[in-house]
Amino acid sequence: MLRRARGCRRRAEPTMTRPKRRTRADSPSRLAEAKLGLSEQRLVPRSPDPMDLGAAYERFVDLQSYVGLSADERRLIVAAGEFVAPHIAALIDDFYEEIQRHEPTQRVVTGGAVQIARLKQTLRDWLAQLVTGPYSEEYLEQRRRVGLKHVQIGLPQIYTHAALARLRNGILRILCDNWTGEHSALVDTVQAVNKVLDLDLAIIGDAYESERLSRLQRAERERSDAVFQDLVEAAGCMIVILRARGEIAYCNSFAEQLTGYTAGEMMNCDFAELLFAETDREALRSVLRQVLSGEYVRGFQDELVCRDGTRRAMLWNVRRLDTYEVEPVVLAVGQDITNLKQAQHKALQAERLATIGQMSAGLAHESRNALQRIQASAEMLEFEVEDNPAAMRLVRSIQNAEDHMHRLFDEVRGYAAAITLDRSFCRVADVCHEAWDLLRTQRQGREAELRASPACADARLLLDRFRMTQVFRNLLENSLSAGEGPVAIDLECKRESSLPPPVRRGRDAIERRGWVISVRDNGPGMTAEQRQRAFEPFFTTKPKGTGLGMSIAQRIVEAHGGQIEIAASSAEGTEILIRLPCDET
């Protein structure tokens, strides 16, 4: 329950003067733990805010006025105490003897004679305070504790009424039997005693009912929280609760599995800083501000950065919760749509490939005869004009154009065709040098060098040699085309763990080792737009390029279970990174 700090209690005189209302010390923050979770995430359910002692005493003074308890009547009660004092022991004995005769009251006394002796002393103090006062905060608090204790021990409230009625009858009988003054004074005294006893009963009953309701509400909240916790912990989506400043107050077990962080590591961390790239954080914070202002955000998409560096595409529904903590918080429910987006991308890619395949097949069929006639005519024309250098240059131009058209058709057909791999263990350095040898014509008359690091000779991977040679040929040819001066191309290989996408089982990610192959040249580099569009089909920066080389390379690398990307580097030249899984023998 919510604990509160109280100031020192001030002992009040038995007057009608209303004391200054004291304020409650600030409560410990309910943000210390998070609701709905386990262990360190658990938040004690919020109880109804009980009235503090200062406010309760103000109400007690008002109730005295309500029943008409005057200063004169207080003096009558004090005087009556002189008649009651000699009989207090008998009243107490009668009280506890009656308790033992009734099962509902007898069963709450579980400590035997020792407990009864202690309870008798408590009742003695209570009776003494009843007839002597002062009716201070301490007096009020003692009565409130009686009500709270009755809830704790499970005593039905109806027996509290019956017990107080028995005490009332005993006190009034003592007064009537021993009164020596005027009858009118006895009547006034009895009325005064009844008013005080009625106030005591009201205070005890109010404390009892408040505590009983508080416990019922707390039990219901705990039951609801347990049900809700079962739901969110079983949910196949990421559920987080964020405070107004963006700190994580709660996360479910799916969030732990997805991100790779434990709940303890995420608690109280800034959600945007921990799990999102710097470029995405402001958009996320803008959504949080919208939600805290009262909007319900559906379908917000971004990328989550997991502990191992992998990125997961997420679809979020976000809303505000007003009853979770002291201040409004944000509930964010995120669906991992990475596989869906990949499937959509593959479906779109397959559709494009099918279209390209149909188009290229039709073009090839219609153009094959025309190209063959052009080739035959050009070859015959060579013999006719071999003594005419100018005419020969024109014939060579025709033949080059015809060769380019053949190559274009071959690349389009190869791009659209399904990739079937014929794998064998190959050394990366050997495959790359083989591709370099195929570019001998392009290197002729140029100063060009391929430098492979020693690690590339050690990188022995299960590859389709022919297709990976095609990948390296495309990359190396691009480097040769990019620079006009001396070309230097560096090939480097290094081991890497946890290659994306990681293999996951339960909460833990299984380490997936592999190689990162870097192909870096000393050319002019690429612009941001060129890096972004490099793998788009038919995008090219070369006058005679088909725009399919990088797209084909990407398809081949992905068919090997790897990834290819262009490094965003400020250094000179362009760096291509190929990540391939390691299947060594």
Task: Round to whole Å and give the CA distance between 553 and 533.
Answer: 14
Spell out the domain ranges in the chain.
46-225, 235-336, 344-416, 423-581
Q: What average pLDDT does the segment 66-77 reach?
A: 92
DSSP class of 293: T
Q: Which amino acid, 402?
A: E
Q: What is the maximal distance between C-alpha atoms in the chain?
A: 157
Which residue is listed with tokens 């499937």? 343
Own/partner contacts of 360-367, CB < 8 Å, gap of 24 or more, are: 360/409, 360/412, 360/413, 360/416, 361/413, 363/409, 363/412, 364/409, 364/413, 367/405, 367/409
Q: What average pLDDT does the segment 176-194 reach?
A: 92
Q: Tokens at residue 517, please?
A: 């192959």
Q: What dotted CATH number matches 46-225?
A: 1.10.490.10
**Residue 508 pLDDT:** 41
- What are the backbone angles phi and psi of residue 46, rounded to the nearest 5°? -75, 125
Do the beta carbons of residue 562 and residue 463 sit within 8 Å? Answer: no
Task: Round to whole Å and give the CA distance between 484 and 134.
Answer: 103
Q: Which amino acid, 10?
A: R
**Residue 459 pLDDT:** 84
CA dihedral 88, 93, 96, 98 (to 10 degrees): -110
**Residue 51 pLDDT:** 63
Interacting residues of 147 by C-beta distance below 8 A, sequence separation 6+: 160, 203, 204, 205, 206, 207, 208, 209, 210, 211
Q: Using CB atoms within 10 Å of the CB of residue 299, give its burial: 0 to 12 exposed, 13 to 18 middle, 19+ buried.
A: exposed
DSSP class of 86: G
Q: pLDDT tens digits for 535-563?
A: 887 777 776 666 778 888 998 999 999 99
- pLDDT band for position 42 (50/70/90)? very low
Q: pLDDT tens digits for 484-530?
A: 778 999 999 998 764 444 433 333 444 456 889 999 998 888 887 88
- Could you name the CATH architecture of 235-336? 2-Layer Sandwich (3.30)
**Class of the 423-581 domain?**
alpha beta
Own/partner contacts of 49-53, CB < 8 Å, gap of 24 or more, are: 49/2, 50/210, 50/214, 52/4, 52/6, 52/22, 52/23, 52/24, 53/6, 53/9, 53/22, 53/137, 53/140, 53/141
Q: Tokens at residue 333, please?
A: 């429910």
- Mean pLDDT rounded to a whole number for the chain: 81
- pLDDT band for position 15 (50/70/90)? very low
- What are the backbone angles phi and psi of residue 519, rounded to the nearest 5°? -120, 110
